[in-house]
Structure 1
Amino acid sequence: MQQSQYKDIQRALTTLVGSKSVTANAANATIKGVEVEARFEPTPFLELTGYYSYIKPKFKSFIVPDNGLYRDAGDYTQSKFSGVSAHSGGATLRMHEDLPDDNGTLSASVDYYGQSGTYLQDNNWDAVTQTHLAAEFVPGYWVLGANIAWQNVMGKPFDASFNVRNLANKRYITGGVDGSTSRIGTLAYFIGEPRMFTFNLTYRF
C-alpha cells in the first residue's frame, strides 16, 4: 500500500501554440494505491500466479491559467488522471513436465490481463455540465494469451515455443489523442493488436 503527495505536476494539455503542444506545471495531487501478488503450486507440475493493482490518483488542485496559451483555461480539479486504470491485474496458469532421458521440458500456459477504463487527457472535466467528457473515456478491456514451449530440445541448448496473443481476438482501445477541442478538431484512438501467432526458436551458444 502506498500514498504519495505531488506538487507542480507536469500534465500535457490538448491545445496548440502555433504547431506545438503545451505542457504545464498545473497540478497538485494525491496518489493512493495497493498491489497484491500471489503464487500457488498445488502440484509439482502445475502453478498459478496472479497480481492485482488498485490506484486512485486525485487532483487536489488543477488550474489551467488564462494567459493566452491555453484554449481551455479554467479549473479542472475534478478531472480524472489520464492514462491511469483504477483496476488492473493478470493471472497465468502454467503446466510443465520434464521429459525422460534429459530430453528437455515441455510446458503450456494460458495468461489473462484486464484493466478498467481510462481517460485520454487530463482536462476531461466539463465545468458547464459538471460531468466528465464522455469522448475522453476509453473502456476497460481484457485479453488472453497462450504459450506452448519445449526447452532444451532433445537435451540440446535449443528451445522452441509457439505463442498466441489476444487469443479471443478482442477489439479494444489502448489509448488515443483528443484534439477535438483544439484547432486540429480530431479524435484518434489507438487500437490494440489483433490475434497474433508467433513461433520462436532459440539456440544458446
Structure 2
Amino acid sequence: MRLESILSRIADAVLEGKDDIAVQAAVDAMNRGVSAEAVLEVVDEVVLEVGGGFSRGEVLLPRIVAVSRAAEAVIRKTGPIQSKPMRGTVIMGTVKGDIHIIGKNLCCAMLRGAGYTVIDLGCDVTPDDFIDEAMVNHASIIGVSSLMTTTLISQKDLVRELKSSGCRCRTIVGGAPCSQEWCDRIGADAYSATASEMVCIVGRMAAGS
C-alpha cells in the first residue's frame, strides 16, 4: 500500500470520528515504518480543517467532539516520541474560558518529540497562571491556544500582562480563529497555524532568531 493511502486512512477515520479505525490505521502505518511525527502531522491537518470550519460556523460542536476524541485516541497510541536531548522549556495551554485542547495536545506531542520539555497547563488557563508557570519553570516560550472567537481576547490579555510582569517569555498564539493579523495586532511574537509550524517557530526562537 502506498504511503499516501496509508496516511489517508488515518485522516479519513479521524475526520469521521471513528476512534478504533483511526487507531488501527495509525498502528498499521507505524508498523510499516511511518514515524509517529508523520502520523501526528496528518491528524494535525484534519484538526486544522475541522477547527476552521467550527470557527466559521460550518461545523457543529458534536462533530468537533467526535473528531477530537478520535484524534486524542491516535495521540495516545503514538506513545511518547521523545527521543532527543532536551532543548528548552515551553509552556502550553488553552486560554481562560476555552476548554478545547486537541490542537494544543498535538503541539505538545510534537514539541516533546522534537526534544523540548513541555509544561502543559491544560485548558481554561488564566494569564497569571501562564506567567507564574513560565517563571517557576524558567521557560522562554509560551504557546497559547484559542478555538473560539469569544476567547481570543484572553490571548491579548496574556500578552499585555506578560509585558507588564517583566517576564521575558516570547509568545506564540494559535487556534482556528487566530491569524497573523491578530498576532500583530495584540503584539504576540508569532502565530502558528499548525503543530508542525509550531515546532519550527519554537526552533527558531530557541536558536535566538
TM-score, length-scaled by structure 2: 0.26
Which one has the bigger strand percentage?
Answer: 1
TM-score, length-scaled by structure 1: 0.27
Report the structure number with the largest CA radius of gyration: 1
Which one has the bigger helix percentage?
Answer: 2
